[in-house]
């Protein structure tokens, strides 16, 4: 198995947290000024804040390098080499949908998203495919939201859009998310991501995760039980009910 990093970097970094967000080990917060821009007052008319639902799965990516589409895990290694079944399922899914990725991506680009096949801290009753794309990147540069949505429209699932325009408070974001969000979160939506752009470029991102969220509570290494699946190849979504044994293992 390949254990190299095809891009020589991580596929994705970490997004800092807003005040009141649940912090995990190694997490960090945005500055007070950045929090103010997201939640209260823009710097000027050039600030544009886009708010989307934060979905809870495994961070993965598909990159086009050397003219070939390569499925990656967050750390930048090949998904096919992962010891976790969920990542190998992602690799298989990318290859099954190879033409879609190949048509979308230019050389050196990667599509980053959340792989929702296995439940981490949130179970989903998915009404769509298990990959939710949230960033189109080249190196460390993110495509602006207009380009991202324009290129992905009708091709890949994107996070539920909550708000566009000026700042949006956490309280307002919670109301917009509702009980299940836009992706069928059975345990309630994990949170939201604020994307701040200026004059057509991404300035910074920030996130809020609800304080009562239990990270990884459905993972076997945390629960001591079997895997919990939101999606399995060949299993109709309606068969993955909360009480269905097919949901585990």
pLDDT of residue 1: 45
pLDDT digit string (tens) for the chain, length 249 residues: 456 899 999 999 999 999 999 988 888 999 999 999 999 999 999 999 999 999 999 999 999 999 999 999 999 999 999 999 999 999 999 999 999 999 999 999 999 999 999 999 999 999 999 999 999 999 999 999 999 999 999 999 999 999 999 999 999 999 999 999 999 999 999 999 999 999 999 999 999 999 999 999 999 998 999 999 999 998 866 555 443 433 333
pLDDT of residue 249: 31
Three-state DSSP state, 76: coil
In degrees and rounded to multiples of 5, residue 22 shows phi and psi of -70, 125
**Structure token pair of residue 142:** 């993110």
- The CA–CA distances, whole Å, from 184 to 53, 55, 123, 198, 238 equal 11, 10, 8, 32, 12
Q: Minimal CA–CA distance to 215: which of 173, 243, 187?
A: 187
pLDDT of residue 75: 97
**HEC readout, 186-218:** CCCCCEEEEEEEECCEEEEEEEEECCCCCCCCC
Q: Please indicate, yes or no, whether the overall pTM of this predicted structure exceeds 0.85.
A: yes
Q: Are strands 68-73 and 47-54 parallel, antiparallel or unpaired?
A: unpaired
Range list of β-strands (E), 121-231: 131-138, 141-142, 161-165, 191-198, 201-209
């Amino acid at each position: 198995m390949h254990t190299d990093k095809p891009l020589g970097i991580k596929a994705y970094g970490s997004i800092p947290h807003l005040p009141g967000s649940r912090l995990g080990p190694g997490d960090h917060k945005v500055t007070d000024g950045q929090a103010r821009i997201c939640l209260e007052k823009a710097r000027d008319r050039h600030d544009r804040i886009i708010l989307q639902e934060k979905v809870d799965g495994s961070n993965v990516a598909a990159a086009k390098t050397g003219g070939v589409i390569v499925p990656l895990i967050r750390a930048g290694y090949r998904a096919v080499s992962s010891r976790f079944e969920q990542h190998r399922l992602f690799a298989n899914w990318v290859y099954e949908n190879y033409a879609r990725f190949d048509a979308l991506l230019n050389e050196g680009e990667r599509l980053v998203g959340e792989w929702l096949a296995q439940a981490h801290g949130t179970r989903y009753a998915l009404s769509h495919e298990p990959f939710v794309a949230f960033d189109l990147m080249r190196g460390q540069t993110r495509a602006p939201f207009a380009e991202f949505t324009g290129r992905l429209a009708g091709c890949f699932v994107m996070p539920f859009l909550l708000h566009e325009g000026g700042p949006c408070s956490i309280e307002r974001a919670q109301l917009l998310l509702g009980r299940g969000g836009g992706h069928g979160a059975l345990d309630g939506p994990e949170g939201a991501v604020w994307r701040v752009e200026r004059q057509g470029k991404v300035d910074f991102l920030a996130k809020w995760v609800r304080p009562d969220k239990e990270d990884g509570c459905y993972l076997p290494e945390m629960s001591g039980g079997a895997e919990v699946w939101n999606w399995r190849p060949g299993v109709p979504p309606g068969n993955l009910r909360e009480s269905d044994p097919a949901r585990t293992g």
